[in-house]
Structure 1
């Protein structure tokens, strides 16, 4: 929703290549989160360098997984993440920066994450394929990796299918 004031919107996204690895894709997702909201915590920022996903230990991989759970799209949708194929253009996601925004757009100025108010820097639009490729799919596979009970249930189900 736009008001009477003039609003300047600028695309700011860049093309990137994310390694085909679940942890790397989750780190890229965290990078997108940190691009949209104030993310000045060095402990979180170290988990956004998706090209160096291989340098993380198994425990750090699990931290990435848990950060992604805490910062899920449910928390960010319609605040700083917006599903819009049209606004993504030729890519699967796009970042936008607003200037001279007062009370003229429905995007929020700040968002509360983990009990702390964070300044909104940009918004991101995404396609469903981006969400599937960079959050839903990797998180489902990592949930299996970090939840031994779930792995056992899946293995038993697969074995039951094979035996039948």
Structure 2
């Protein structure tokens, strides 16, 4: 990690406005897309681009399982204050914003690399988010998908027991 003690801040907003469908799969896919913007996740999963396409959120069972696994690996608690920052002021009128940084204010500690699944990944950009954003796009949809998965497994176990 590097602590840069520059007084001049040069942030370049690189965000765009998006509409995420109100579906837990789409929201988690959007979270994954955001994390792929921040951290180089190339070569992490087959069909990563497919899992990032949150406007086309109809997933097969295998794709949904891969999405859940990737998002559990990308738990925001592992990235907060390294490459994503809970900072309402930096979000301006949005719930999240992406920035490229050429210089960093002395109160931001930015990791050059983060460890994901035992592999070092380069930090490309940073993201500021509100607590509402992380709740709506990570915690709530992940819990919904995990509950659905658990119910499917219980139903399959009951079906096997009845046969």
Q: Under a length normalisation based on structure 2, what TM-score does the superposition of the two structures give? A: 0.82
With over 3 angstroms needed to count, the CA separation of the structure-2 counterparts of 1:4 and 1:85, relative to structure 1, is closer
The 8 Å contact of residues 5 and 104 in structure 1, kept in 2 or not, is answered as no
Distance 1:67 1:12, change over 3 A: same
Seen in structure 2, the aligned counterparts of structure 1 residues 4 and 128 have a Cα distance that, compared at 3 Å, is closer
CA distance in 2, matches of 1:19, 1:119: 29
Q: Which of these residues, 112, 121, 134, is aligned with residue 137 of structure 2?
A: 134
Where relative contact order (Cα < 8 A, 6+ residues apart) is larger, the structure is: 2
Pairs within 5 Å for 1:70-109 = 70-99=73-102, 105-109=108-112
- Tell me which moved more, 139-148 or 22-31: 139-148
- For these two proteins, the number of residue pairs brought into alignment is 150
Return the structure number with greater helix share. 1
Query: C-alpha displacement at 1:112, in angstroms?
Result: 1.1
Give unpaired runs (5+ residues) of structure 1: 153-164
Contact preservation (8 Å) 1:19, 1:51: yes
Q: After the TM superposition, which residues 27-106 of structure 1 pair with which residues of structure 2 at under 5 Å, given as runs?
A: 27-41=29-43, 43=46, 44-54=48-58, 56-99=59-102, 105-106=108-109
Secondary structure of the corresponding residue to residue 134 of structure 1: helix
1:147 to 146, 150, 153: 150
CA distance in 1 between counterparts of 2:108 and 2:90 reads: 16
Unpaired runs of 5+ residues, structure 2, are: 156-163
Question: When the two structures are superposed, what TM-score results if normalisation uses the length of structure 1?
Answer: 0.82
Cα-Cα RMSD: 2.3
| CA separation of 1:97 and 1:151: change in aligned 2, threshold 3 A | farther
Three-state SS of the structure 2 residue aligned to 1:97 is strand
Structure-2 change in CA distance of 1:151 and 1:129 (3 Å)? farther
